[in-house]
Chains A and B, each alone.
Chain A
Amino acid sequence: MKNVVWGLVILLIILHQDYWYWYSDRQVFGFMPIGLFYHAMISVGAGITWYLATVFAWPEGLDNVQPEEEGSVTGSEVVE
């Protein structure tokens, strides 16, 4: 399923290059130029794809990340 999700992301990037609607003056619902409507749907598609990514491709081992070396990077913290 993880691979399907990444496949969907690549598909979205390909579908984004919609040369096929470049010159079309069709209006969806009578007011939305097709070139705009199509890309609004790409945004909706992106939302759905990212939802699937959070369900099926979420990185493992991040549920309980604890500080290991607090203060070591930022410089020692002086307590007043």
Chain B
Amino acid sequence: MNPGLTRFVIIVVYLSLLLFLGFFASKLFRGTRKDYMLASNSIGPFLLLMSIFGTTMTAFALVGSSGESWKEGIGVYGMLASSSGIIHSLCFFMIGVKLWALGRRYGYTTQIQYFRDRLQTDVIGIILFPILVGLIIPYLLIGVMAGGTVMNQMTDGAFATKEKTLPKTARPLAESATEIAASYKAALVELKEENEEGVEKNLANAKAQIIELWGYRERVLKSLKDDKKLSEQQIQALSEKEINGLVAKTLAKPPSTYGALPKWLGSLMICGVVLIYVFFGGMRGTAWANAFQTIVFMILGVVTFCFLAFALGAKDKTGVGAAEGSGLMAHLQGATEKVTPETKLKTMVGIWSRIARGAASEDKEAQAEATGLAVKIKPLKEVKEFRTRKEMSFLKFLTYMFVPLSVGMFPHLFQHWLTAKDAKSFKTPVICHPIFIMIVWVPCVLIGIWGTTTPYAGSPNGILVYLVKIKTGALLGGFLAAGILAAIMSSLDSQFLCIGTMFTTDIVNHYRPGRFSDKQQVWIARAFIIGVVIVTYFLSLANLTSVFTLGVWCFSGFSALFPLVFACVYWKRLTTAGAYACVLAVGASWLGFFYHAYSTSKTPDQFRSYSVVVGGYETMPVFWMILASTAAMVLVSLMTPRMDEQHLSRFFPENKA
């Protein structure tokens, strides 16, 4: 069995296990709306911990964390993970427990029910509903698209009927490879002399030679002509800068697969499996599946880490790394020891010299191997310091701390909170969440920086899949693919269920109270879930890769709404008008920053990592959005009459006489 097929079989077995779990959970279904949407408030501490953790850790936990660290270095842990450990638990403790109590007391199922009741207005629901759904949909899309891509990449070659044909080089390979190796060698000399300009110049030389070797420029222009995207005249009018931009885009594309499961089919399988266990199992099935999947991706993450440490930490040709036969610790040290700009350049010199030798040999097999290797290697953009945070902005790091506040406003998390059996069930998630984040993220961040010593040069999100495919066996690759899919699906399921619940509760049942029986409401929720899955799946087929850049923007939107939920829970002086002002400020500031980022960013990467520069310092837009929403909410609340004390006493029991 070829490696791609082995991985495919493991993935199918894993998906079948999930279906089995969903069917088993459905056997315990009591047939009521409350059971379908909230598992009859029966979830204990362990399941609550696993389901909340699985829901907050998206595909980003494994794929994104290693990718970001491969791109930015170790600083991403502090920026995204340790801050989340503090803030997420803070939200569970301060917001989650209180909302659970109110939800239990007054029978809420969704966040909007709470806001409508607390603020005594129907309009807040009408305003919040499209905002919350609008912010979740890009997430669903990211999950479905990422699932398809992982399936596609991991099953590369599974269904190949003949050998993959390699593209032809535009110039003799041996000659070009020698020149490229020489450029990297010259960059290495300049690096030792600390001449940054010299390093950049030689890297640019190597890049130009690689572009020439594969005729990237000609290929881009030809594809524009063939695809009839631009007329002949428009192509002629393209400036040098525009052509270079198109070439850079082509270079950034992930390596194409051959004989793999198509992305559309991969996404369809993911959607199908999630739909089936959410459809039959409801919240109980989702919680069980989340717990199972969280265990899977945590264990497999650590196992992969150990395997990759042995593979990447072994002694290489430059003499750096652990000696053969040494243990895990020596390999861990070897892997990190290699993470220096020098090693990166030395690796490039070594690889291109090897390609040059292979291409110049008489042996046809060696020539084909050299071409196969050369086609995978993209030019090195820059040499960075990955073991420190030298190149990270401190103020951006600081203001990033506001992003994890988003969990306080996630509607799908609100629903999970309400499933808790009692308030005590929250204690385990509050304590263990930061530790669990560490268990998943530290290995991934280390894998990411180790990955910088390999010739991989595709998109950041592809580094983990690349390393597993190249450096480990098919069996582990299959298990890790299952682990990544587990992380993806453990968020997708909650989001699908949440949107179905919101439609049923906040729209259908709210505007047609008493019209539908309990059982009918379950079926309405199921119908909505099917609809949402279908719409998301078809949207994912449009392959809107730009959706991936929306991730942090969605988080920022939820975070900016955090002051609203916080004030609802803790601030009696909040008024309905203050709440409207808060939502309005979030909408205006979010749209303003979004428009500015869109109109000023030249690449998707710039758009994704957009920051607000104040006095020469980089800050995250979320900081300003929260400031705006809080200021608007407080000012307007103080300017408008207090809410009725009797009404408030329902939410602040200490007011009761």
Seen from chain A, the residues whose Cβ lies within 8 Å of a Cβ on chain B are 9, 12-13, 16-19, 22-25, 27, 29-33, 35-36, 38-40, 42-44, 46-47, 50-51, 53-54, 58-59, 61-63, 65-80
**Contacting residues, chain A, for B446 (C-beta < 8 A):** 31-32, 36
Closest to B517 in A: A78
**Contacting residues, chain A, for B431 (C-beta < 8 A):** 47, 50-51, 54
**Contacting residues, chain A, for B389 (C-beta < 8 A):** 22-23, 35
Q: Write the nearest CB–CB distance from A7 to chain B, whole angstroms.
A: 14
Contact indicator per residue, chain B 69-97, by CB within 8 Å of chain A (1) or not (0): 00000110110011101100110010001
Q: Write the nearest CB–CB distance from A11 to chain B, whole angstroms.
A: 11
**Contacting residues, chain A, for B117 (C-beta < 8 A):** 73
**Contacting residues, chain B, for A47 (C-beta < 8 A):** 85, 431-432, 434-435
**Are the CB atoms of B107 and A70 closer together than 8 Å?**
yes
Would you list which residues of chain B between 513 and 568 have a CB under 8 Å from chain A? 513-519
In angstroms, Cα B105 to Cα A78, docked, is: 20
Contact indicator per residue, chain B 379-405, by CB within 8 Å of chain A (1) or not (0): 000000101111010100110010000
Q: Write the nearest CB–CB distance from B146 to chain A, whole angstroms.
A: 25
In angstroms, Cα B35 to Cα A77, docked, is: 14
**Are the CB atoms of B388 and A23 closer together than 8 Å?**
yes
Q: Write the nearest CB–CB distance from B422 to chain A, whole angstroms.
A: 7
**Are the CB atoms of A35 and B74 closer together than 8 Å?**
yes
Closest to A59 in B: B97
* Pairs A-B, 7 closest by C-beta atoms: A75-B513, A62-B423, A46-B434, A43-B438, A31-B332, A30-B333, A39-B82
Of B77, B82, B430, B435, the residue contacting A54 (CB under 8 A) is B430
| B interface, over-half SS | helix
Add 7 more A-B contacts to A27-B387, A33-B74 (CB < 8 A).
Answer: A17-B394, A39-B82, A59-B97, A73-B108, A74-B108, A79-B518, A80-B518
**Contacting residues, chain B, for A39 (C-beta < 8 A):** 77-78, 81-82
**Contacting residues, chain A, for B333 (C-beta < 8 A):** 27, 29-31
Q: Write the nearest CB–CB distance from A48 to chain B, whole angstroms.
A: 8
Q: Write the nearest CB–CB distance from A75 to chain B, whole angstroms.
A: 3
In angstroms, Cα B332 to Cα A29, docked, is: 9
In angstroms, Cα B104 to Cα A35, docked, is: 43
Counting chain A CB atoms within 10 Å of each CB, the highest count among B81, B98, B431, B515 belongs to B431
Q: With contacts A17-B398, A51-B431, A65-B101 known, is A46 near B85, CB below 8 A?
A: yes
Q: With contacts A22-B390, A47-B432 known, is A9 near B90, CB below 8 A?
A: yes
**Contacting residues, chain B, for A67 (C-beta < 8 A):** 104-107
Would you list which residues of chain B between 324 and 341 have a CB under 8 Å from chain A? 329, 332-333, 335-337
Q: With contacts A16-B78, A22-B388, A69-B107 known, is A42 near B423, CB below 8 A?
A: no
Of B86, B101, B337, B427, the residue contacting A42 (CB under 8 A) is B86
**Are the CB atoms of A53 and B390 closer together than 8 Å?**
no
Interface residues contributed by chain B, number (CB under 8 Å):
69
**Are the CB atoms of A22 and B394 closer together than 8 Å?**
yes
**Are the CB atoms of A43 and B422 closer together than 8 Å?**
no
What are 27 A-B pairs with beta-carbon distances under 8 A? A18-B78, A22-B394, A25-B387, A35-B75, A36-B446, A38-B78, A44-B438, A46-B85, A46-B86, A46-B89, A47-B431, A47-B435, A50-B430, A51-B431, A54-B431, A62-B97, A62-B422, A66-B105, A67-B106, A71-B107, A73-B106, A74-B109, A74-B509, A77-B33, A78-B516, A78-B517, A80-B517
**Contacting residues, chain B, for A24 (C-beta < 8 A):** 388
**Are the CB atoms of A50 and B89 closer together than 8 Å?**
yes
Counting chain B CB atoms within 10 Å of each CB, the highest count among A16, A29, A58 belongs to A16
**Contacting residues, chain A, for B516 (C-beta < 8 A):** 78
Closest to B511 in A: A75
**Are the CB atoms of A33 and B336 closer together than 8 Å?**
yes
**Are the CB atoms of A17 and B397 closer together than 8 Å?**
yes
**Contacting residues, chain A, for B422 (C-beta < 8 A):** 62-63, 65
In angstroms, Cα B449 to Cα A67, docked, is: 51
In angstroms, Cα B78 to Cα A72, docked, is: 45
**Are the CB atoms of A36 and B434 closer together than 8 Å?**
no
B510 contacts chain A at the CB level, 8 A cutoff: yes
B56 contacts chain A at the CB level, 8 A cutoff: no
In angstroms, Cα B401 to Cα A70, docked, is: 38
**Contacting residues, chain B, for A44 (C-beta < 8 A):** 434-435, 438
**Contacting residues, chain B, for A71 (C-beta < 8 A):** 107
In angstroms, Cα B82 to Cα A24, docked, is: 19
Would you list which residues of chain B between 32 and 83 have a CB under 8 Å from chain A? 33, 74-75, 77-78, 81-83
**Are the CB atoms of A43 and B97 closer together than 8 Å?**
no
**Are the CB atoms of B93 and A50 closer together than 8 Å?**
yes
In angstroms, Cα B93 to Cα A65, docked, is: 17
In angstroms, Cα B113 to Cα A72, docked, is: 11
